[in-house]
Amino acid sequence: MFIVARMAQREWENPKPWDPESKELENIWTVKNFLWLSLGSITAQGCDILPKAVPTRVIAASWWFFSLIIMSSYTANLAAFLTMQKRDFTIDSVEELAAQSRVKYGLLENGSTQTFFQTSNNPLYQKMWSTMKNEKPSVFVSGNLSGVDRVLSTKNALYAYFMESTGIEFEMERKCDLRRIGGLLDSKSYGIGMPLNADYRHTINSAILVLQESGKLMTLKEKWWKTERDGEPCNRVVEEETDALALSNVGGIFIVLLVGIGLAYVIALFEFLWNVRQLSIEEQIHLLKDHEKS
């Protein structure tokens, strides 16, 4: 804008308005005044001096539009960030669960999950087992349904329950207030108990393999876990973290600013050349003829 203002005729003014005959002209758009206009635009405070020529107004309008979008985007992003900060803390992994003491966690007493924690060599799981074992009142329950009910009934969601993933999936399809966090602690398969050396063991093994390879087992799980339920399916909304405002999100406004600056330069150059032509006509200056005479 500093350069364009130098080219625009209307930005040059008589510093002595009481002397209309004065030929001295002054341009108010110094670097200091231009920076003052820029700061006033960003802070939405305005400025006591405004451009008069078309090219400088084009640049100013482009800058105002640019500042409006940038500040609006920043304000919206900041508001979303502060809103996320004000929410109650969330736990998204077993590591985060073990690192805090506010939410108590338990499991089925004398079940396979308890055996897993008792026999694990992982220091994290050993620490969690020690914590659960020493909690008062007890965090252990007598059945999975009791554990699910305790999760739902505990005030402010301050109880978490360890459970087999298939059981969690089944309960989550029927109780929409439940939420699963983290991945699997361990991976094991189900089996069918039979007498030792039973004659029909191989036959059942083969039948199960056929069902698994054909996808029948997944179809049955889909049926009894999701289709055969009471009521409508849960409409779970995945919460997403607020991303930082990236340059790609506001790249278009930079293009608008650059187009505005380029357009202002074109207009300023056109006005400058037009004013030179008008001045040469008024002063009867013929540059081409004078050059030929010389």
Question: Annotated binding site for L-glutamate: which residue ranges?
Answer: 112-113, 164
Q: How many helices (H) and strands (E) does the chain have?
A: 12, 4
SS3 of residue 116 by DSSP: helix
Q: Which residues of 167-188 are buried (b: 16+ CB within 10 A; e: fewer)?
A: ebebbbbeeeebeeeeeebeee
CA distance linking residue 263 with residue 271, whole number of Å = 12
- Calculate the CA dihedral of residues 280, 281, 284, 287 and round it to 10 degrees: 40
Assess contact for 129 and 117: CB atoms under 8 A: yes
| H or E element in which residue 27 lies | strand 26-27
**Eight-state DSSP code of residue 44:** T
Between CA 178 and CA 162 the distance in angstroms is 13
Residue 27 backbone phi and psi in degrees, to 5:
-110, 120
Q: How many angstroms separate the most distant Cα atoms in the chain? A: 122
The backbone torsions φ and ψ at residue 287, rounded to the nearest 5 degrees and listed phi first, read -65, -40
The gap between the terminal CA atoms of the chain, to the nearest Å, is 38
Annotated binding site: 112-113, 164
Contacts of residue 72, defined as CB under 8 A and 6 or more positions apart, other chains included, come to none
Distance of CA 253 to the CA centre of its chain: 19
